[in-house]
Amino acid sequence: MVMAFPNKEQLEDSLRGLVNEFGLLIEGIKITKAGAKSAIRIAVDTADPRAERPDLDQLEELSREVSKHLDDAEAAGEMSFGAGYTLELTTPGVDFPLVEQRHWVRNIGRLVRLAGGVERIAQVEGEDVVLITPDKKQPSVRRVRFADVAGAVVEVEFSQAPAAEADLVGLAIDAYGLPGAEDQQDSPAED
């Protein structure tokens, strides 16, 4: 029986244990099928959002192990990659959507693009995120469920955060004097 090129779920199931042995999680898999030019792109990251991201040496070592694992699976008839493929291991880029709590924690202090505009992540606790709405005179803060703003994307910033915003980043969540996110409206703070 000829096996088809594996899908994302099959690859993730097959690789999860190996990736976890390196202290990493699979954040996403993208498969591009194009005959001999097929590609498998796997994004990995640390489980601890406050830890350093894997460096190039770690990615290179993991890439060798993943490649060997996939070659062994193909030789055993468990998977088929056809004419061949290119394997790429990477970390999530700035265009990677913030979905999980750990994504938000990793980006505390950074600007994010939301449906209603650009805001800065001040703090994350439990299921809540405190966002700073930039304003030259007086930035405002709001507390929302991060699930309500899931899919935000980090906004590249080429300068330091204004002092008024930077002073609001990383405070204890109750220091903001905000009600719980469940008590607030889902609309962004008014300008």
Strand 140-145 to 128-133 pairing: antiparallel
pLDDT at 189: 45
pLDDT at 182: 61
List, in sequence order, every beta strand (DSSP E) within the chain: 24-32, 38-46, 85-90, 111-114, 117-125, 128-133, 140-145, 153-154
What is the count of structural domains for the chain? Answer: 2
pLDDT digits (tens, 9 = 90+) for 16-41: 999 999 999 999 999 998 877 889 99
Cα–Cα distance measured from residue 174 to residue 153, given in angstroms and rounded to the nearest whole number: 26
Domain-embedded: residue 190: no
Structure tokens at 10: 């099959």
Cα–Cα distance measured from residue 178 to residue 84, given in angstroms and rounded to the nearest whole number: 55
Q: Which domain holds residue 22?
A: 8-90
Q: Do the Cβ atoms of 94 and 140 come closer than 8 Å? A: no
Last residue of a domain, one of 23, 58, 90: 90
Last residue of a domain, one of 90, 125, 140: 90
Domain-embedded: residue 59: yes
**Is the pTM higher than 0.85?**
no
CATH of the domain at 62: 3.30.300.70
For residues 106 and 177, membership in a common domain is answered with: yes
